[in-house]
Amino acid sequence: MKILLTGGVGGQVGWEINRIAGESHHELISLTRSELDICNALNVDAAVEHHKPDILINAAAYTAVDKAEEDQDAAFKVNRDGTHFLALACKKATIPMLHISTDYIFDGTKTSPYEVDDPAAPQSVYGASKWEGEECLRKALTQHIILRTSWVFGRTGNNFVKTMLRLGLDRKELKVVADQRGAPTSAHSIAACLLGLCDAYERDKDLPWGTYHFTGSPETTWSEFAEYIFREGLKQNLLDHEVKVNPIKTAEYPTLAKRPANSRLSMRLTESRLKVLIPDWRNDLIDVVEYLKTHR
Ligand SMILES: NC(=O)c1ccc[n+]([C@@H]2O[C@H](COP(=O)([O-])OP(=O)(O)OC[C@H]3O[C@@H](n4cnc5c(N)ncnc54)[C@H](OP(=O)(O)O)[C@@H]3O)[C@@H](O)[C@H]2O)c1
């Protein structure tokens, strides 16, 4: 099957899709931002018409959460309008679209994991732009899967694991936020899930279309995650000393964008309807640390 990937190569998830698609029998057409800017409706249409894919995966997004607070137009242009243009092009070509969204569409005040149909109440520009992108996709195209994920980390790009290991190289202790709960999710597991959905679509010519959650397990806090990263870094000799994590409150680490205190997303529907297993992020962290030892 021919898969057209937007936001390919440069992004965390796009990079992983490129890496593992080689092991699949699918033909992957991977377009970077310079090859296809999803904000250009004419070019989006032309790319879909030219490549004639069987399915489209959108891994392109504006993901600079704090910067988005001061750069609202750019965030909405990519996350809402770009998603909309892709959905319209897919509708015209009668192909499905797989898309990624975020826990930041919720306000984080719920005391248990968010279900897929819990009301959205984004607290940040990024969250609002992603939510409106979801809505545009749902309205424009029935044949879609939206995977909402959280706390993405991987071998490439900017992420918490790489930041912690970089800071840990020359620090003995660090303050890390301890009152936000969520689940780290590896870019690799998201990529594998998306390619698995392509397999299922090719086999069944159908998927249980709709919105789902996809995150790693077990849930944790940023400070516990940091402790885990430092332990793994030490175990694999990427760090040569222990790094102490001092837990702090969100209020002690002010950021431009507000983050949800509760980022936990229920995987109930994902397991029952999509038949997707919950990945253990600790296994992928071992791989990422091993990769970073030789690619710093
Ligand atoms: N990162 C997280 O913690 C997190 C959490 C929850 C959900 N998500 C969602 O997961 C998805 C993948 O995230 P990620 O971490 O892989 O993001 P990422 O590393 O920031 O990659 C995003 C990619 O999109 C490309 N892009 C940006 N604007 C574009 C445009 N106008 N046209 C085409 N490409 C464009 C970027 O290209 P350049 O490199 O040229 O800028 C980059 O390659 C996104 O939908 C994101 O919202 C991420």
Q: Which helix (H) or strand (E) element contains residue 200?
A: helix 187-204
Q: How far is the CA of 12 from the centre of ligand 1 (A)?
A: 7
Q: How far is the CA of 232 from the centre of ligand 1 (A)?
A: 26
Catalytic residue among 62, 104, 114, 126: 126
Please report the atom of ligand 1 found closest to the CA of residue 151.
Answer: 3
How would residue 198 be classed by pLDDT, with cut points 50, 70 and 90? very high
Q: How far is the CA of 147 from the centre of ligand 1 (A)?
A: 14
3-state secondary structure 62-122: CCCHHHHCCCHHHHHHHHHHHHHHHHHHHHHHCCCEEEEEEHHHCCCCCCCCECCCCCCCC
For residue 106, the model assigns a pLDDT of 98
252 occurs within a structural domain: no
Number of domains in the chain: 1
Q: Which helix (H) or strand (E) element contains residue 11?
A: none
Is the shortest distance between the CB of 71 and ligand 1 below 6 Å?
no
290 occurs within a structural domain: no
Q: How far is the CA of 129 from the centre of ligand 1 (A)?
A: 13
Could you confirm whether 291 is annotated as catalytic? Answer: no
248 occurs within a structural domain: no
For residue 9, the model assigns a pLDDT of 86
Is the shortest distance between the CB of 263 and ligand 1 below 6 Å?
no
Q: How far is CA 226 from CA 6, 36, 231, 238, 250, in A?
A: 31, 36, 9, 14, 15
For residue 218, the model assigns a pLDDT of 97
Over residues 118-128, the mean pLDDT reads: 98
What CA–CA distance (Å, rounded) separates 83 from 3?
17
For residue 164, the model assigns a pLDDT of 97
255 occurs within a structural domain: no
CA nearest ligand 1 atom 8, residue: 102
For residue 68, the model assigns a pLDDT of 98
CA of residue 175 relative to chain centroid, distance? 25
Q: How far is the CA of 5 from the centre of ligand 1 (A)?
A: 12
How would residue 266 be classed by pLDDT, with cut points 50, 70 and 90? very high
285 occurs within a structural domain: no
Please report the atom of ligand 1 found closest to the CA of residue 12.
Answer: 16
Percent of the chain with pLDDT over 90: 97
170 occurs within a structural domain: no
CA nearest ligand 1 atom 19, residue: 11
What is the SS3 assignment for 253?
A: coil
21 occurs within a structural domain: yes
CATH number reported for the structural domain that contains residue 62 in this entry: 3.40.50.720
How would residue 10 be classed by pLDDT, with cut points 50, 70 and 90? confident
Over residues 81-95, the mean pLDDT reads: 98
13-68 tens-digit pLDDT:
999 999 999 889 999 999 999 999 999 999 999 999 999 999 999 999 999 999 99
219: pLDDT strictly greater than 90: yes
What's the mean per-residue pLDDT of the chain?
97
Over residues 160-188, the mean pLDDT reads: 97
Peptide bond into 254 cis (omega under 30): no
Pocket test for ligand 1, best of 31, 76, 152, 164 (most atoms within 8 A of CB): 152
CA nearest ligand 1 atom 40, residue: 33
289 occurs within a structural domain: no
CA nearest ligand 1 atom 17, residue: 11
For residue 175, the model assigns a pLDDT of 97
What CA–CA distance (Å, rounded) separates 26 from 110?
40
Over residues 109-127, the mean pLDDT reads: 98
CA nearest ligand 1 atom 7, residue: 102
Over residues 219-230, the mean pLDDT reads: 98
For residue 295, the model assigns a pLDDT of 86
How would residue 296 be classed by pLDDT, with cut points 50, 70 and 90? confident
Domain containing 118 equals 2-159+184-218+263-280
Is the shortest distance between the CB of 62 and ligand 1 below 6 Å?
yes
Q: How far is CA 181 from CA 147, 196, 212, 229, 264, in A?
A: 19, 28, 19, 16, 7
Tell me whether strands 2-6 and 55-58 are parallel, antiparallel or unpaired: parallel
